[in-house]
Structure 1
Amino acid sequence: MSWNEYGLDRAAQNLVLNHRSVIKESHKMREAVAYGLERFWGEHLRYKDKKKEEDKTKSAYWKATWDALVEILENAGITLPNDDVQLENTQQIQTMAKKLWGEIKLNDGTTLTLENRRVALAVLTQLCDCLVWWTQRYKGKKE
């Protein structure tokens, strides 16, 4: 098996370009990786229902980054949960967290193994490193 970069750099550049108004969030994303997949995933919910438009834009950036990770891992043969969750629905949030912890089955009938969680976290770390790199290239520039 040969090495495959899975388009991390290209995905990161597209994410940064598509969310330029809040690209400084990239640094927060990189810091959040240390707390695990479930905390990274849940961060979009924190911003989602806030009143300020900037917070909603931040939520969209976090969610788009998670969606990109799901797609990248899918191309690598790893299924990562990506349920549509509403902030006010505690059961949905708990179910998603349990899927990320490997405690219950994913929609495809498999569970997220410890090895796959470790791979997902490593890929997320690299994706966020790429986000930070592109953020540093594009910050302060106006469209």
Structure 2
Amino acid sequence: MGWNSYGLDKIAQELVLKAKIRDSDSLNQSYKMRMAVAYGLERFWGEHLRLQKKEPDKSTYWKETWDALEMVLKKAGITLPNDPVNVDNTKAVKAMSERLWNELNLEKQRVALAVLTQLCDCIVWWTQRYKGRSKE
């Protein structure tokens, strides 16, 4: 089985442009996303919850990235848990975290992290191209 890009570069460009239009300060999250990959899927997923109340535009950027990852992995035959969760619903947060740990075996976790790493690398690349330019 060979590498399939699954259009990650195009997806990343779209994510960056949407974030830039919504709130150009959100683009700084791109670098944080790439760094967060090293901490695993649960921590990456949970970051949108941390930002949900205080910085909703940034939260949206993280969540849209997770949603894009889910879509890509589905094409690869991997179902990524992606329950809608509000930070105030502790039971739902815990349930989603447990799904991430329990529903993906080690091989699928590794594939998901590899794809997320590549997606975030693409996001950083596009961020470097668009950061500081006008919203047009």
TM bracket (short chain): over 0.9
Q: TM-score, normalised by structure 1?
A: 0.89
The structure carrying a bigger helix percent of its residues is 2
- The alignment status of 1:70 with 2:109, answered yes or no, reads no
In the other structure, the counterpart of 2:129 is 137
Gaps of 5+ in 2: none
Percentage of matched positions with identical amino acids: 63
CA drift at 1:48:
0.6
Runs of 4+ deviating beyond 6 Å: none
2:17 is matched with 17
For 2:35, the equivalent position in structure 1 comes to: 31
1:21-74 CA distance string (max 9 Å, x none): 111110000011111000000000111112xxxx11000000000000000000
Q: 2:46 aligns with which of 42, 45, 56?
A: 42
Q: How many aligned positions are there? A: 131
Q: Which runs of 5+ in 1 are unaligned?
A: 103-110
CA RMSD of aligned residues (A): 0.9
Q: Which amino acid aligns with 1:49?
A: K
Name the CA distance, whole Å, in 1 between partners of 2:131 and 2:53: 26
The equivalent residue for 1:125 is 117
